[in-house]
């Protein structure tokens, strides 16, 4: 034992000893080397745009990033696996050109009103179902529904993973249209109870999601694991854990990989309003959806979250439109960030589009007011694009006003 350590035992007070140890550690380079660097350091320039200064959907995204905890941001921002499909969803819009009209028409002449399954819409736009909005902003799902209704009565689809019960969301905007999302549940009695709950709450349509069969949000899970939350990224059992069985061995939710058309037949009997199937990416599935009672389908890959290396929704849209041949409406989502993106999807045959991530950006940035402004910006951009392309009504937006260069 060194003399200084021996002196601590017999001479110095405990407080002084601790102070000396602290001084020794402060002088050491080791703590600095071991310290975790803040992944989101505060910058020198901290002024953020006000809501009045927001010009595009992209202006909301950094405010969203700055307003929520990192896990909440990651859940919204990331996709499945390598995120190839997430990136391809956005790239696909670059492969479709809009043909300008000669001459263009005044924006005041553009009327995009339509009827979708009995719902009168001023714009062919809906708010897509996305989970847990209260962590984005205290306004949560109620604020989003109010925002959608205020933005020209835009219909909203409530996620089954809502952080606010449907019975509280539906009455928040009596003039609005609220549909409910549903993930298939093998037990038919539980399925019926879910449908009864939605109906009692005032939900008028059901969107059954089938595009989340086998995804694993690996990047998000890794971030959470590094943040100290217990995660098993390797797929095998940890020491002391029970052995994993079935789909869990492959990091998959046991409630997936079983969906059948027979289930859709049974569900159709339980749903009194419109039944929409979300997650169609193949023409044959579109035909089968019609045969099994779907009132509409949604061409969707869950925003790049359902399967890595899948096709972008814009690429497969034309062949699905051809297979449906006008028998039922076709909705579309994934990757939309601008009004011109909406125009391209409509031109390739979609009857309406759905906004997912972008509406979350708006809500997280400014609450309900931000979500409303986000929707209105895209509506305005869509009108501007239609005017430039010489399209005064929805039926004018077709393949003749675009050129495709898919690769």
Strands (E), 307-406: 330-332, 352-355, 402-404
Distances (CA, A) of 191 to 162, 281, 366: 17, 25, 36
Q: Which of 205, 405, 208 is nearest to 300 (CA)?
A: 208
Which of the residues 45, 78, 292, 302 is marked catalytic?
Answer: 302
Separation between Cα atoms, residue 401 and residue 407, nearest integer Å:
20
Q: Are strands 114-116 and 119-121 parallel, antiparallel or unpaired?
A: antiparallel
Look up residue 265 and give its DSSP letter.
Answer: H
Q: Are strands 125-127 and 352-355 parallel, antiparallel or unpaired?
A: parallel
Per-residue pLDDT of the chain (407 residues; tens, 9 = 90+): 677 666 656 665 666 767 776 776 666 655 555 555 566 666 666 678 999 999 999 999 999 999 999 889 988 998 888 899 999 999 999 999 999 998 899 999 999 999 999 999 999 999 999 999 999 999 999 999 999 999 999 999 999 999 999 999 999 999 999 999 999 999 999 999 999 999 999 999 999 999 876 555 555 555 554 444 433 433 334 444 466 676 667 666 667 778 899 999 999 999 999 999 999 999 999 999 999 999 999 999 999 988 889 899 999 999 999 999 999 999 999 999 999 999 999 999 999 999 999 999 999 999 999 999 999 999 999 999 999 999 999 999 999 999 999 87
Residue ranges of alpha helices (H) inside 111-241 are 140-150, 166-169, 188-201, 218-226
What is the phi/psi pair of residue 111, to 5°? -130, 110
Residue carrying structure tokens 């009132």:
295
Burial of 325 per CB tally in 10 Å (0-12, 13-18, 19+) = exposed
Per-residue model confidence (pLDDT) at position 258: 80
Q: Is 181 left (phi over 0), alpha (psi -120 to 50) or beta?
A: beta
Q: Are strands 96-98 and 402-404 parallel, antiparallel or unpaired?
A: antiparallel
Structural contact between residues 156 and 144, judged by C-beta atoms closer than 8 angstroms: yes
Separation between Cα atoms, residue 289 and residue 264, nearest integer Å:
9
Q: In 3-state terms, what secondary structure has residue 19?
A: helix
Q: What angle do the packed helices 70-77 and 60-67 form, to 10 degrees?
A: 140
Residue 261, beta-bridge partner list = none
Separation between Cα atoms, residue 161 and residue 294, nearest integer Å:
22
Q: Are strands 206-209 and 296-299 parallel, antiparallel or unpaired?
A: unpaired
Q: Which of 326, 269, 334 is nearest to 300 (CA)?
A: 334
Structural contact between residues 297 and 330, judged by C-beta atoms closer than 8 angstroms: yes
Separation between Cα atoms, residue 4 and residue 77, nearest integer Å:
55
Per-residue model confidence (pLDDT) at position 233: 34
302 flagged as catalytic:
yes
Separation between Cα atoms, residue 329 and residue 324, nearest integer Å:
9
Please give the model's pTM, rounded to 2 decimal places.
0.84
The alpha carbons of the chain give a radius of gyration, in whole angstroms, of 26
Around Cβ 309, how many Cβ atoms within 10 Å? 10
Sign of CA dihedral 329, 371, 107, 405: negative
Domains of the chain: 3-34 (no CATH), 53-220+250-404 (3.20.20.70)
């Amino acid at each position: 034992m060194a003399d200084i350590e021996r002196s601590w035992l017999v001479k110095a007070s405990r407080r002084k000893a601790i102070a000396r140890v602290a001084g020794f550690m402060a002088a050491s380079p080791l703590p600095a080397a071991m310290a975790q660097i803040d992944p989101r350091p505060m910058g020198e320039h901290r002024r953020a745009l006000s809501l009045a200064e927001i010009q595009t959907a992209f202006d909301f995204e950094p405010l969203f990033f700055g307003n929520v905890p990192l896990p909440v941001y990651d859940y919204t921002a990331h996709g499945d696996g390598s995120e190839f499909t997430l990136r391809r969803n956005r790239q696909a819009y670059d492969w479709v050109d809009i043909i300008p009209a000669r001459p263009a028409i005044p924006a005041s002449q553009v009327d995009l009103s339509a009827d979708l399954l009995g719902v009168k819409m001023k714009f062919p736009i809906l708010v897509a179902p996305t989970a847990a909005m209260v962590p984005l902003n205290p306004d949560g799902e109620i604020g989003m529904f109010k925002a959608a209704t205020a933005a020209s009565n835009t219909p909203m689809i409530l996620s089954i993973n809502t952080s606010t019960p449907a019975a509280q969301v539906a009455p928040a905007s009596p003039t609005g249209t609220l549909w409910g999302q549903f993930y298939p549940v093998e037990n038919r009695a539980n399925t019926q109870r879910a449908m009864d709950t939605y109906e009692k709450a005032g939900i008028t349509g059901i969107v059954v999601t089938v595009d989340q069969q086998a995804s694993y949000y690996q990047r998000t899970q890794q971030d959470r694991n590094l943040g100290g939350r217990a995660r098993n990224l390797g797929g095998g059992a940890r020491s002391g854990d029970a052995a994993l069985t079935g789909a869990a061995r492959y990091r998959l939710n046991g409630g997936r990989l079983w969906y059948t058309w027979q289930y859709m037949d049974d569900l159709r009997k339980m749903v009194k309003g419109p039944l929409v199937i979300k997650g169609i990416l193949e023409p044959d599935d579109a035909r089968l959806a019609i045969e099994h009672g779907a009132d509409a389908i949604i061409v969707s890959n869950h925003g790049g979250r359902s399967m890595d290396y899948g096709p972008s929704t814009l690429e497969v849209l034309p062949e699905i439109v051809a297979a449906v041949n006008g028998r039922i409406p076709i909705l579309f989502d994934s990757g939309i960030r601008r009004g011109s993106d909406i125009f391209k999807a409509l031109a390739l045959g979609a009857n309406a589009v759905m906004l997912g991530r972008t509406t979350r950006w708006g809500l997280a940035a400014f609450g309900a007011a931000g979500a409303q402004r986000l929707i209105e910006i895209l509506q305005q951009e869509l009108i501007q694009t239609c005017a430039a392309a010489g399209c005064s009504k929805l039926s004018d937006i077709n393949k003749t006003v675009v050129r495709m260069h898919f690769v």
